[in-house]
Amino acid sequence: MRLERRLRAFSGALGALGAAARGLAVSCMLACCLLLAGQAPAFAQAHSVEVPQLRLERADDGLYLSATLGFELPPLVEDALYKGIPVFFVAEAEVLRDRWYWSDRRVANAVRYIRLAFQPLTRRWRLNVSPTPIGNAGLGVALSQNFEELPEALASIQRLARWRIADLHDVEADGRYSVEFRFRLDTSQLPRPLQMGVIGRSDWSLSTERSLRLLPDGE
């Protein structure tokens, strides 16, 4: 009888433990749902970049692209800049020749790498521009500028004036071409720990893509 009572008590304890475990599992599921719901706004669509002006110009030495961009830095990006973390942008133009019998052929591709950094000691903004990737130190760049205020530096980024995207021999006068223009905030060059934290977050998604036609001379 004593053994039977112990077995019943042990069975009841298991039942209570099972109920507690089930309750804990439900609570964990609810907590996860609430956490995901709280994070949902961070995975919204990318911040848009307006392109009020985008044009092509044929010249004696090649094809030039000019563009005006319109965007504001998301608060988290601006906060990172003021904390001394450089931010990188990439502008790219791909020139494709029309082919009716096959997919269009790429004849030229131009990339512009941009690095923006705040210098706490001088309280100035430094902007580096290069046709090749820029390191965190900003070394090996083709152009370097300093600005007193952030809006001045952003205005320089947002103006692409006569950027040569193809040589003269790449674009024939009687050919038909399309130009795919892309601009984005490049998170791949952020410090590694920060890269993991910004994956999929809308505050770090700033990009645009536009297409432009280049017709034969005389059309």
Asked if 148 and 98 touch (Cβ cutoff 8 Å), the reply is: no
Q: Where are the beta strands (DSSP E) in 73-202?
A: 87-97, 105-119, 124-130, 143-147, 159-167, 177-185
Q: What is the pLDDT of residue 191?
A: 78
Per-residue pLDDT at 47 exceeds 90: no
pLDDT of 195 over the 90 cut: no
> Is 70 exceeded by the pLDDT of residue 8?
no
Residues 6+ apart with CB under 8 A from 206: 46, 47, 49, 71, 73, 74, 77, 184, 185
Phi, psi (deg, nearest 5) at residue 206: -130, 110
The share of the chain scoring above pLDDT 90, in percent, equals: 55
The stretch 180-209 carries a mean pLDDT of 82
What does the pLDDT read at residue 217?
A: 75
pLDDT at 111 over 90: yes
pTM of the model: 0.75
Question: What is the reported pLDDT for 200?
Answer: 58
pLDDT averaged over the chain? 80
pLDDT at 143: 87
